Chains A and B, each alone.
Chain A
């Protein structure tokens, strides 16, 4: 018994030494997104896009390092996000990461990244606070914030002649942010007014009580600031209660799962997003070509292109200054008019990129169609209550 114990100890020691003496020249980069749960379609699309960026770089003979992508799942929950963010940031081998689709998770983790001095580029979360609440050098973002999409939203609603809006929003910072910016925009335009605001939890099942109250208020439009899972539920229960208002959503519902979840009920839903549709981006064709070559199981969804651009930026920075977190942070501070598949990227003093284009969508025949190209804009079809 003692002999085998000694042998075992020697064996373990040998294995440990062997592990430590492995060859270098590999660089680890990270990706965090919601890989499970109601918004997993977006997370998986983003992961595939980041993976594509890494693969293309590894296939490039001029690259100085070999890259390995470490993927962690934040489940779109703030507490899980903090745990995985701590895990990734605490591991010194990982140099930088493209992080987060859900705003609730992104805002919870900024302090963690700052604590560990870990550079990140956000690829899908739209809450302005993520880059603007603090002035952390570690945090950057390639996609736009929700301010512009809500401006466009309020404008369209007002221009279509609707007078009364009821607001439903989830109680995470994401939903609250949408509520805040939409209300401000609508007030500024002044043509429509908000008759009721309802906060719901992000995993709520039953909305009949809130919707019953809304039915009594009889609004023209129901504005929804939240993500796809509860968006599907609210729209479905709206129908059950016989509410015939326009369902007006945000970038949170621009996802194939929204249409799959509702079928014909999705018809006539409005949505807004910053950034042009993937095909219309400057590098969109190239991105879609390469993406389809890899035959991923899930499509890139709305923010895949941004994840690709974010990861590419990280890889460029590491190529330039080496796998050192501090140097990468300094390098990312000087991004001006950098070319990428989503257009030119410039980080302002808070690490935020400006995305001027806002795409307006309406669901027509089971697809998200641009408003300007739709039959609703031309007058062939009418939204409920549209004059």
Chain B
């Protein structure tokens, strides 16, 4: 086969199953977020689980997967539109929008973790710490006259810089020993923040909202008779960030960089034998991942308005790793689903708020025992010359 051959025609149901699935998901999300009564929420969750299992039994999921695989750009666009619709429905509900923004930003952070762990196989148990570095950067910089639209970038850079401190131990260790390095760092970071008064100590710091060209993000927006909660401004920025991050991760995966990372993860020794510089690729993955995590953290700091050491502990890093496991290591779409489940469900089910960590941990144990690939496992790489995906 040569590249001069005409592109093969893709046969299949096309867009529609995917778009239908996204639309249905959007309606479901709106229903779930709007529901207040516990019984209703439990009923909705049960319906959701049954629907998904039923759909896979009846073979309805195959065409959906097909659309996602072959028309990904279209699907991404549809997802963006549906996100805006969902947020539009809740245009003046502060807390729901806050949840949505949280999901978006956490997904960006897990995308970063995905590059490190899902693609390159670099263990990072300190994800929440790098998230915290970004958040503290925005706490320190915002309000000092530095253009706050650039603060997330600085947050990402700061994260990467601190990550550089860990490079040597991360590169030299393998397996369990590598795990220790990032775990020790996660604990070190939280303790450091707690004892250090310069960064607010255990009391944390208040973060000023984002301002762009004189307009403060912390004010409600009124367009005609309709009031939009002030979280809407953050929503737009977060959605843009997620779209960018998603596109970045996808492109990265499909490029030769992604290929190198995959080779590195699958068998380090063989990769080294083929001439891949393991050092270089591990560093690349680690730093790029940290930048993404840092950017998300910085933005989240501004949204929440508060940063404190207790937010970025080892337990929070574990939550990020479990989202990765739950959603499917290496699959960005799985991450969106995983983050949504992990963040929204405990918030809505007030009765299980106390039991949140326990149920999480049990869920992850279940996933690890019975479905280690996660909910949406990563698809096999496809190569068809001449076909653009």
Binary interface encoding of chain B residues 185-220 relative to chain A, with 1 for a CB under 8 A from any of its CBs, else 0: 000000100110100011110100000000000100
Tally of contacts, chain A with chain B, CB under 8 A: 79
Beyond A87-B95, A104-B203, whether A201 also contacts B306 by CB under 8 A is no
Q: Which of B30-38, B141-149, B281-289 contacts A (4 or more CB under 8 A)?
A: B30-38
Beyond A19-B36, A82-B304, whether A111 also contacts B310 by CB under 8 A is no
A173 in the interface (beta carbon within 8 A): yes
A80 in the interface (beta carbon within 8 A): yes
Chain B interface size, as a band, is 20 to 34
Contacts of A275-307 to chain B: CB distance below 8 A: none
Query: Are A16's CB and B34's CB within 8 A?
Result: yes
B45 to chain A, nearest CB (A): 12
Query: Are A104's CB and B202's CB within 8 A?
Result: yes
Contacts of A52-90 to chain B: CB distance below 8 A: 77-80, 82-83, 86-87, 90
Question: How far is it, in angstroms, between the C-alpha of A200 and the C-alpha of B338 when the chains are bound?
Answer: 38
Query: Are A171's CB and B202's CB within 8 A?
Result: yes
Question: How far is it, in angstroms, between the C-alpha of A202 and the C-alpha of B310 when the chains are bound?
Answer: 12
Question: How far is it, in angstroms, between the C-alpha of A115 and the C-alpha of B306 when the chains are bound?
Answer: 12
Per a CB cutoff under 8 Å, which of B37, B191, B218 touches A115? B218
Beyond A9-B27, A16-B35, A104-B203, whether A171 also contacts B195 by CB under 8 A is yes
B44 in the interface (beta carbon within 8 A): yes
Query: Are A1's CB and B202's CB within 8 A?
Result: no
Main secondary structure of the interface of A (DSSP, over half): helix
Query: Are B306's CB and A91's CB within 8 A?
Result: no
Per a CB cutoff under 8 Å, which of A78, A86, A107 touches B310? A78
B94 in the interface (beta carbon within 8 A): yes
Query: Are A201's CB and B194's CB within 8 A?
Result: yes
Query: Are B306's CB and A112's CB within 8 A?
Result: yes
A172 in the interface (beta carbon within 8 A): yes
| Residue among B34, B194, B201, B202 with the highest chain A CB neighbour number at 10 A | B202
Contacts of A111 in B (CB 8 A): 206, 305-306
Question: How far is it, in angstroms, between the C-alpha of A12 and the C-alpha of B93 when the chains are bound?
Answer: 20
A40 to chain B, nearest CB (A): 12
Question: How far is it, in angstroms, between the C-alpha of A1 and the C-alpha of B54 when the chains are bound?
Answer: 9
B49 in the interface (beta carbon within 8 A): no
B197 (CB) vs chain A CBs: closest residue: A171
Per a CB cutoff under 8 Å, which of B98, B201, B311 touches A79? B311
A15 in the interface (beta carbon within 8 A): yes
A173 (CB) vs chain B CBs: closest residue: B203
B58 in the interface (beta carbon within 8 A): yes
Contacts of A162 in B (CB 8 A): none
Per a CB cutoff under 8 Å, which of A108, A112, A170 touches B204? A108
Query: Are B204's CB and A79's CB within 8 A?
Result: yes
B60 (CB) vs chain A CBs: closest residue: A1
A1 (CB) vs chain B CBs: closest residue: B58
A8 in the interface (beta carbon within 8 A): yes
A75 to chain B, nearest CB (A): 9
B304 (CB) vs chain A CBs: closest residue: A82
Query: Are B98's CB and A86's CB within 8 A?
Result: yes
Binary interface encoding of chain A residues 91-114 relative to chain B, with 1 for a CB under 8 A from any of its CBs, else 0: 110000000000010011001100
- B contact set with A: CB distance below 8 Å: 27, 31, 34-37, 40, 44, 47, 54, 58, 60, 93-95, 98, 191, 194-195, 197, 201-204, 206, 218, 304-306, 308, 310-311, 354
Sample of 14 further A-B pairs with CB below 8 A, known A78-B203, A115-B218, A172-B203 = A1-B60, A9-B27, A16-B34, A19-B37, A78-B204, A79-B306, A82-B304, A83-B304, A86-B304, A86-B305, A91-B95, A107-B203, A112-B305, A201-B202
13 of the cross-chain contacts (CB-CB < 8 Å) are A12-B44, A15-B40, A78-B310, A80-B310, A82-B305, A83-B304, A86-B98, A87-B95, A92-B94, A108-B308, A112-B306, A115-B305, A172-B201
What 5 A-B pairs come out closest when comparing CB atoms? A90-B94, A90-B95, A79-B308, A82-B306, A79-B310
